[in-house]
Amino acid sequence: MSTSSENNGETFALIAEFENPGAIMAAAEKVRDAGFKNWDVITPFPVHGMDQAMGLSRSKIPIVAFCGGVAGFTLGMSMVYYMNKVDYPLVVGGMPYFSPVFPFPVAYELTILFAAIGSIISMFLFNSLPMHHHPTLNYEQIEKASNDRYFIVIESSDPNFDETKTPDLLKDIGGSNIGKLKD
């Protein structure tokens, strides 16, 4: 047992350490199969195949990026239409006030800009970041999690969570250094 259990406060979660990507992958599959919902895997880099091992669905970010792109393109075209045709018709070399051709580079760039910003903003929103007060960040061995160790965190809010059985489960699936995270 780790020393983090000494402080007062509600137990937020149990945390267990694993040696390598193979071990954490196998362990995650077992936690998933045990029916846990509020749990997480902490790794220093994205482990290939972990989404399936955790039973996570595909990220929804492409939808937001697509909407951003459509919005950018529409904004680009309509902005040029309004500015060069409606609000202040500008005669340049006898060319039409508006044509879909000449604003294309502008609309194209705005498509990319809005899609990129959309995907980044949605990444932060979906991940609930920035969040500087998460209990995992207070774990005294967090340094290892961004270096070369892998952790499984099972939250006490999970319906399957049990003060005595869950630590055993973590031990059974190969976890070491099992500790508690406080709120």
Partner 1 sequence: MTTLTDTVPANTALIDEARPADLPRQVLVENDRDFDWITNKICGIVEAKTPTWWWIAFTLSAFVSLFTVFGIIYLVSTGVGVWGLADPVNWGWAIVNFVFWIGIGHAGTLISAILCLLRQKWRTSINRAAEAMTVFAVVCAGIFPLIHVGRVWFAWWLFPIPNSNAIWPNFRSPLLWDVFAVSTYGTVSFLFWYVGMIPDLATIRDRAKTKIRKIAYGIFAMGWRGSNRHWRNYEMTYLLLAGLSTPLVLSVHTVVSFDFAVSLIPGWHTTIFPPYFVAGAIFSGFGMVLTLMLPLRSIYGLHDLITQYHIDCMCKILLATGTMVGYAYMMEFFIAWYGANEFEAFAFVNRAFGPYAWSYWIMISCNVIAPQFFWFKKIRQNPMIVWIVCIFVNIGMWFERFVITVTSLSRDFLPSSWGYYSPTIVDVFTYVGTFGIFMFLFLLFLRFLPLMPMGEIKAVMPQADPHHGKNHH
70 vs 123 by CB, closer to partner 1: 123
* 3-9 own/partner pairs: CB under 8 Å, 24+ apart: 3/140, 3/179, 4/138, 4/139, 4/140, 4/179, 4/180, 4/181, 4/182, 5/179, 5/180, 7/182, 8/182, 9/182, 9/183
CA distances from 131 to 88, 112, 116, 135, 150 (A): 47, 28, 22, 10, 21
Of 130, 162, 173, 183, the residue nearest 41 (C-alpha): 173
Q: How many residues touch partner 1 (CB under 8 A)?
A: 68
* Least gap, CB of 58 to partner 1 (angstroms): 8
* Least gap, CB of 148 to partner 1 (angstroms): 4
37 belongs to the binding site for partner 1 (CB under 8 A):
no
Rounded to whole angstroms, the Cα distance separating 96 from 5 reads: 74
Rounded to whole angstroms, the Cα distance separating 91 from 52 reads: 59
* Least gap, CB of 62 to partner 1 (angstroms): 6
According to CB under 8 A, which one of 134, 171, 172, 183 is a site residue for partner 1? Answer: 134
x/- binding map, residues 38-77, to partner 1, per CB under 8 A? --xxxxxxxxxxxx--x-x-xx-xx--x------------
7 belongs to the binding site for partner 1 (CB under 8 A):
no
User: Which residues would be at the binding site for partner 1 (CB under 8 A)?
Assistant: 20-22, 24-25, 28, 40-51, 54, 56, 58-59, 61-62, 65, 79-80, 83-84, 87-88, 90, 92-93, 95, 102-103, 105-106, 108-110, 112-113, 115-117, 119-120, 122-124, 126-127, 129-134, 136-137, 142-143, 145-148
